[in-house]
Amino acid sequence: MNNMSSISLQATQNEIIRQVLNTQDIHFLDKIKNLFLKKEADDACMVGEEPLAGFSEALKELKDYRDGKIELKPLDDLLNEL
């Protein structure tokens, strides 16, 4: 990961951490917790080409976002989809 990607990742992590720390809604925090538990279970099941395909798609979406081709969903919307 290059320095710019690392800085962007850290900025995103910090923003999410601030939002979580400022949240008083226990149901919302439970959704976040379950999201991480689900991701850990999904990661444990990935084998062969599957992890690389998911990573490749994520990088494509990031590039499209940076190029202004797509907009990202707010964190609340993503969590409500779960």
The domain spans of the chain are 3-80
Q: Quote the CA–CA distance of 80 and 48 in Å, as a whole number.
A: 30
Number of H helices, E strands in the chain: 4, 0
Secondary-structure percent of the chain, ordered helix, strand, coil, rounded to 5: 75, 0, 25
Phi, psi of 7 (to 5 degrees): -65, -45
Interval 11-69: pLDDT, tens: 888 888 888 888 898 988 888 888 888 877 776 665 666 666 777 777 788 788 888 88
Q: Quote the CA–CA distance of 40 and 37 in Å, as a whole number.
A: 5
What amino acid occupies position 32?
I
